[in-house]
Amino acid sequence: MEWNQKSFFEAAGGDRVALLSWDDGHWAVCWAYADPHSGMQLVSYDQGRATQVFKASRERSEREGALTYDSRQAWDGGSV
């Protein structure tokens, strides 16, 4: 089984967040925290909830500072 990255952003502070789907239908949001936390968290959700959580996380990061990378603009054809 393999995860497929549906959307991704990097916050100004270096935290990275990805919206993932698995080829068996599961969805998840993965947070990779920058220093000083330097940890990773992967939480499984259904598709609708995963998308909602990802978007809320991105909106919070946008309010707190600029995004240094956003797959909505960077990927050919965009993303979520």
Query: What are 5-56's pLDDT values in tens digits?
Result: 999 999 999 999 999 999 888 999 999 999 988 899 999 999 999 999 999 9
Q: Is residue 67 part of a domain?
A: no
Q: Is residue 52 part of a domain?
A: no
Q: Is residue 58 part of a domain?
A: no
pTM of the model: 0.89
Q: Is residue 1 part of a domain?
A: yes
Q: Which domain holds residue 33?
A: 1-46
Q: Is residue 19 part of a domain?
A: yes
Number of structural domains found in the chain:
1
CA distances from 11 to 6, 23, 26, 48, 72 (A): 17, 27, 25, 23, 14
Please say if the pLDDT value at position 69 is more than 80. Answer: yes
User: 64 pLDDT band (50/70/90 cuts)?
Assistant: very high
Q: Is residue 22 part of a domain?
A: yes
